[in-house]
Amino acid sequence: MMKIESAKDLEVISEDYSKKLYYPEAVKVNVGIASCGIAAGAQASLETAAKEFPGNNGVSINQTGCIGFCELEPLVEIFEKGKPRLLYKNITEDKILDMIQDYRESNFNKKWILGQMQDPRSFLEDDIQNPMAGVTPLEEIPILEDVSFFDKQVKIALRNCGYIDPDSIEEYIARRGYQAFIRALKDMEPKEIIQAVKDSGLRGRGGGGFPTGIKWETCAKHNGERYIICNADEGDPGAYMDRSILEGDPHSVLEGLLIAARAIGSSQGFFYVRNEYPLAVKRLVTAVKSAKRYGLLGENIAGSDFSFDVKISTGAGAFVCGESTALMASLEGKVGRPRAKYIHTVEKGFRENPSNLNNVETYANVPAILLKGADNYAKMGTTHSKGTKVFSLVGKVKNTGLVEVPMGISLKEIVFDIGGGIPKKKKFKAVQTGGPSGGCIPEQFLGLGVDFDELIKVGSMMGSGGMIVMDQDTCMVDVARYFVDFLKEESCGQCNPCREGITAMLDILTDICKGNGKEGDIELLEELGMMIQKFSLCGLGTSAPNPVLTTILYFRDEYDAHIKDKKCPSGVCKPLFHYEIDDEACNGCTLCAKRCPEEAITGEKKKPHHLDLEKCIKCGICYDACKFDAILIQ
Partner 1 sequence: MSDPCLAESIETTEIDYMELDRIIEEDFNNDKENLIMMLQEIQRRYNHLPTPALAYLSTSIGVPLSQIYGVATFYSTFSLEPRGRNIVSICLGTACHVRGGERIREKLEESLNIEDGETTEDQRFTLESVRCIGCCSLGPVVKINEDTHGRIAYTEVDKILEKYE
Cβ 316 to partner 1 shortest distance, Å? 3
* Nearest residue to 178 (alpha-carbon basis) of 362, 311, 4: 4
Residues of span 232-261 touching partner 1 by CB under 8 A: 234-240, 243
Site membership for partner 1, residue 420 (CB under 8 A): no
User: Among residues 112, 486, 555, 577, which is the contact residue for partner 1, using CB under 8 A?
Assistant: 486
The length of the chain, given as a count of residues: 634
Task: Provide CB contacts within 8 A for 214, sequence distance 6+.
Answer: 198
* Nearest residue to 210 (alpha-carbon basis) of 225, 193, 231: 231
User: Among residues 190, 421, 608, 620, which is the contact residue for partner 1, using CB under 8 A?
Assistant: 620
User: Among residues 84, 250, 336, 439, which is the contact residue for partner 1, using CB under 8 A?
Assistant: 336
Q: Which is nearer to partner 1, 381 or 401 (by Cβ)?
A: 401
Residues of span 68-87 touching partner 1 by CB under 8 A: 70-71, 73
Cβ 435 to partner 1 shortest distance, Å? 8
Q: Is 293 exposed, middle or buried (0-12, 13-18, 19+ CB in 10 A)?
A: middle
SS (H, E, C) 570-584: CCCCHHHCCEEECCC
Residues of span 560-599 touching partner 1 by CB under 8 A: 595, 597
User: Among residues 120, 162, 395, 541, which is the contact residue for partner 1, using CB under 8 A?
Assistant: 395
Rounded Cα gap, residues 152 and 133, in angstroms = 22
Cβ 233 to partner 1 shortest distance, Å? 12
Cβ 278 to partner 1 shortest distance, Å? 8
Q: Which is nearer to partner 1, 194 or 422 (by Cβ)?
A: 422
For the chain, the helix, strand and coil percentages under 3-state DSSP, each to the nearest 5: 45, 15, 40
Helix H or strand E encompassing 139? none
Residues of span 294-323 touching partner 1 by CB under 8 A: 313-319
Rounded Cα gap, residues 559 and 570, in angstroms = 12
Rounded Cα gap, residues 617 and 600, in angstroms = 9
User: Among residues 105, 333, 340, 342, which is the contact residue for partner 1, using CB under 8 A?
Assistant: 333
- The half-sphere exposure of 566 on its side-chain side, counting CA atoms within 13 A, is 6
* Nearest residue to 255 (alpha-carbon basis) of 332, 390, 159, 344: 159
Cβ 34 to partner 1 shortest distance, Å? 9
**Phi, psi (5° rounding) for residue 334?**
-110, 180
Rounded Cα gap, residues 425 and 82, in angstroms = 42
Cβ 193 to partner 1 shortest distance, Å? 29
Q: Give the Cβ contact number of residue 190 at 10 Å.
A: 16
Report strand pairing: 439-442 vs 428-433.
antiparallel
Q: Which is nearer to partner 1, 217 or 473 (by Cβ)?
A: 473
User: Which residues does residue 79 pair with via DSSP β-bridges, in sequence order?
Assistant: 28
Q: Which is nearer to partner 1, 69 or 306 (by Cβ)?
A: 69
Q: Is 34 exposed, middle or buried (0-12, 13-18, 19+ CB in 10 A)?
A: buried
Sign for the pseudo-dihedral over CA of 147, 149, 153, 155: negative
Rounded Cα gap, residues 9 and 382, in angstroms = 38
**Phi, psi (5° rounding) for residue 161?**
-65, 120
Q: Which is nearer to partner 1, 65 or 401 (by Cβ)?
A: 401
Sign for the pseudo-dihedral over CA of 301, 254, 168, 311: positive
Stretch that binds partner 1, among 231-239, 250-258, 375-383, 578-586 (CB under 8 A): 231-239
Stretch that binds partner 1, among 80-88, 91-99, 284-292, 613-621 (CB under 8 A): 613-621
Q: Which is nearer to partner 1, 371 or 414 (by Cβ)?
A: 414
Mark 22-51 with x for binding to partner 1 (rule: CB under 8 A) and - for no binding.
Answer: -------------xx-xxx-----------
User: Among residues 419, 466, 529, 539, which is the contact residue for partner 1, using CB under 8 A?
Assistant: 466
Site membership for partner 1, residue 435 (CB under 8 A): yes
Cβ 97 to partner 1 shortest distance, Å? 23
User: Among residues 87, 390, 470, 549, which is the contact residue for partner 1, using CB under 8 A?
Assistant: 470
Cβ 390 to partner 1 shortest distance, Å? 13
Site membership for partner 1, residue 161 (CB under 8 A): no
Stretch that binds partner 1, among 12-20, 274-282, 529-537, 582-590 (CB under 8 A): 274-282
Cβ 489 to partner 1 shortest distance, Å? 8
Question: Rule CB under 8 A: which residues touch partner 1?
Answer: 35-36, 38-40, 70-71, 73, 234-240, 243, 275-278, 313-319, 330-336, 392, 394-396, 400-401, 432, 435, 466, 468, 470, 474, 479, 482-483, 486, 489-490, 492, 595, 597, 619-621
